[in-house]
């Protein structure tokens, strides 16, 4: 039984990855870019699922990690000559990790809504700093830069075309998914889930709950920063809008729409949200958020487990 389940999982995983590898070869430029962005937003949503779905802490501050990843990558690409993709990744991750460590230290002392509000406030602090520190961050205009080549010295040196970038993003997102899945199934992940179910009892058993929470926030922030780096590479800019808390709100929306605590759900949620937005904005221009918000409210009320949980229940019946 268990073994059969594993086979089904890996087959499904391989099929989806194969489809996504083939995607840029058959899709037009517009939809290729669309799929790449779904993958990046999906990674951001997946990173926040570690907190929302597995540890039971709703973060409204993921835009800070995402944005700092973007600015970290921008810093590496603008200051180091020649621009290096791996250094951009490294800088972005370090920036996100530093912010995550700071946020984690303060916010994990609090629970429920207090945690949500603290993370929200923290992301706004970074937003204000980035927005007003024009000399370094470019202020409202943000920073623009060129895409670096995808290269390992002595092995290969590719120009990062959109298609190759898509494959690179796919590799990173698929890899992150496997790592996160492994983590959530590990003893560490089990402790996180037991914190979600009953924090007092977990503490009584003898786990250092605070330490687990800090690691969870940092882990989550690290992957959110990774998504930020990828987004910066895709769009070749870093802008303060992506640090604003509305991005965090959208991240939570992806999670809730797709189904929390599933890792795949948030990606499905991001795809659903972005597709719906694309479809609606064709004839509603910028007011697409009105029906989209209504759909979101309906999902919160009627399908608390999200699309994936809803489908699962429907399949079981």
Any contact of residue 135 with another protein (CB under 8 A)? no
Burial of 97 (0-12, 13-18, 19+ CB in 10 A): buried
Least Å from the CB of residue 200 to another protein: 16
| Residue number with CB closer to another protein (231 or 245) | 245
Asked if residue 165 lies in contact with residue 259, where contact means CB atoms within 8 angstroms, the answer is no
**CB 249, min distance to another protein, A:** 5
Q: Does position 110 bind another protein by CB under 8 A?
A: yes
Cα separation of 200 and 204, whole Å? 6
Of how many residues is the chain composed?
317
Phi, psi of 150 (to 5 degrees): -90, 105
Are 86 and 211 contacting, i.e. CB atoms less than 8 angstroms apart? no
**Residue 73 or 268 with smaller CB distance to another protein:** 268
CB of 155 to another protein, least distance (A): 46
Question: What is the distance between the alpha carbons of residues 58 and 50, in angstroms, rounded to a whole number?
Answer: 10
Q: Which stretch binds another protein (CB under 8 A): 32-40, 72-80, 185-193, 298-306?
A: 298-306
Give the Å distances, CA to CA, from 316 to 1, 77, 306, 310. Answer: 17, 50, 15, 10
Region of 34-42, 152-160, 161-169, 286-294 interacting with another protein (CB under 8 A) = 286-294
Q: Does residue 9 touch another protein according to CB under 8 A? A: no
Stretch that binds another protein, among 71-79, 201-209, 269-277, 289-297 (CB under 8 A): 289-297
Pairing type for strands 156-158 and 150-152 reads antiparallel
How many residues interact with another protein (rule CB under 8 A)?
37
Read off φ and ψ for residue 144, nearest 5 degrees.
-120, 150
Nearer to another protein, 194 or 305 (CB): 305
What is the enclosing helix (H) or strand (E) of 151? strand 150-152
Nearer to another protein, 10 or 106 (CB): 106
Among 17, 87, 98, 117, binds another protein (CB under 8 A): 117
Q: Is 198 in the site for another protein (CB under 8 A)?
A: no
- Under rule CB under 8 A, residue 44 binds another protein: no
Distance in Å, CB of 33 to another protein, minimum: 25
Query: Which contiguous run of DSSP H or E holds residue 173?
Result: helix 162-185
DSSP 8-state assignment for residue 146: P
Stretch that binds another protein, among 10-18, 119-127, 167-175, 205-213 (CB under 8 A): 119-127
- Confirm or reject binding of residue 177 to another protein (CB under 8 A): no
109 touching another protein, by CB under 8 A: yes
C-alpha–C-alpha distance, residues 305 and 291, integer Å = 20
Task: Select from 164-172, 201-209, 232-240, 287-295 the region that touches another protein (CB under 8 A).
Answer: 287-295
- Rounded CA separation 214/150 (Å): 33
Contact status: 292 vs another protein (CB under 8 A)? yes
Nearest to 146 by CA among 242, 224, 227, 73: 73
Binding residues vs another protein (CB under 8 A)? 58, 60, 106, 109-110, 112-114, 116-118, 120-122, 124-125, 128-129, 131-132, 245, 249, 252-253, 256, 286-287, 289-290, 292-294, 296-297, 300-301, 304
């Amino acid at each position: 039984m268990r073994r059969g389940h594993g086979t089904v999982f890996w087959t499904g995983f391989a099929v989806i990855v194969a489809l996504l590898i083939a995607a840029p070869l058959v899709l037009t430029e517009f939809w290729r870019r669309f799929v790449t962005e779904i993958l990046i937003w999906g990674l951001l949503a997946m990173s926040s699922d570690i907190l929302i779905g597995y540890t039971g802490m709703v973060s409204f501050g993921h835009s800070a990690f995402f944005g700092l990843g973007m600015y970290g990558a921008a810093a590496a690409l603008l200051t180091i000559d020649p621009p290096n993709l791996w250094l951009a990744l490294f800088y972005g991750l370090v920036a996100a990790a530093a912010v995550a460590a700071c946020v984690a230290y303060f916010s994990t002392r609090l629970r429920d809504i207090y945690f949500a509000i603290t993370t929200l406030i923290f992301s706004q602090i970074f937003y204000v700093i980035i927005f007003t520190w024009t000399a370094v961050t470019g202020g409202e205009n943000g920073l623009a830069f060129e895409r670096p080549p995808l290269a390992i010295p002595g092995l290969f040196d590719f120009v990062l075309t959109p298609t190759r970038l898509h494959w690179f993003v796919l590799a990173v997102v698929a890899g992150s998914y496997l790592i996160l899945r492994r983590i959530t199934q590990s003893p560490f992940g089990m402790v996180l889930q037991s914190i979600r179910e009953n924090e007092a009892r977990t503490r009584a058993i003898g786990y250092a709950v605070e330490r687990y929470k800090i690691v969870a926030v940092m882990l989550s922030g690290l992957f959110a920063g990774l998504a930020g780096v990828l987004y910066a590479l895709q769009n070749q800019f870093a802008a303060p809008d992506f640090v604003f808390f509305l991005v965090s709100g959208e991240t939570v929306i992806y999670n809730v729409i797709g189904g929390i605590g599933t890792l795949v759900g948030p990606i499905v949620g991001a795809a659903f949200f972005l597709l719906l937005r694309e479809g609606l904005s064709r004839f509603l221009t910028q007011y697409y958020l009105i029906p989209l918000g209504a759909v979101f409210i309906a999902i919160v009320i009627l399908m608390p487990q999200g699309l994936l949980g809803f489908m699962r229940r429907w399949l079981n019946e």
